[in-house]
Chain A
Amino acid sequence: QKEVEQDPGPLSVPEGAIVSLNCTYSNSAFQYFMWYRQYSRKGPELLMYTYSSGNKEDGRFTAQVDKSSKYISLFIRDSQPSDSATYLCAMRRTDDMRFGAGTRLTVKP
Chain B
Amino acid sequence: NAGVMQNPRHLVRRRGQEARLRCSPMKGHSHVYWYRQLPEEGLKFMVYLQKENIIDESGMPKERFSAEFPKEGPSILRIQQVVRGDSAAYFCASSPQGDQPQHFGDGTRLSIL
Contacts and interface: CB of A to CB of B under 8 A. Distances in A.
Contact of A101 (B4, B33, B41, B99): B41
Given A43-B91, A44-B43, A44-B91, A97 B106 contact: no
A42 interface: yes
B98 A99 contact: no
Interface residues of B, number: 22
Given A88-B42, A97-B45, A43 B105 contact: yes
B107 interface: yes
Interface string A74-109: 000000000000001000101111111110000000
A24 to B, nearest CB: 14
B72 interface: no
Contacts, number: 49
18 contacts: A4-B42, A34-B101, A42-B107, A43-B6, A43-B104, A43-B106, A44-B43, A44-B91, A49-B101, A92-B99, A94-B98, A95-B48, A95-B56, A97-B33, A97-B45, A97-B102, A99-B42, A101-B42
Given A4-B42, A46-B101, 13 more contacts: A8-B40, A32-B101, A41-B106, A43-B104, A44-B43, A44-B91, A45-B104, A95-B55, A95-B56, A97-B33, A99-B42, A101-B42, A102-B42
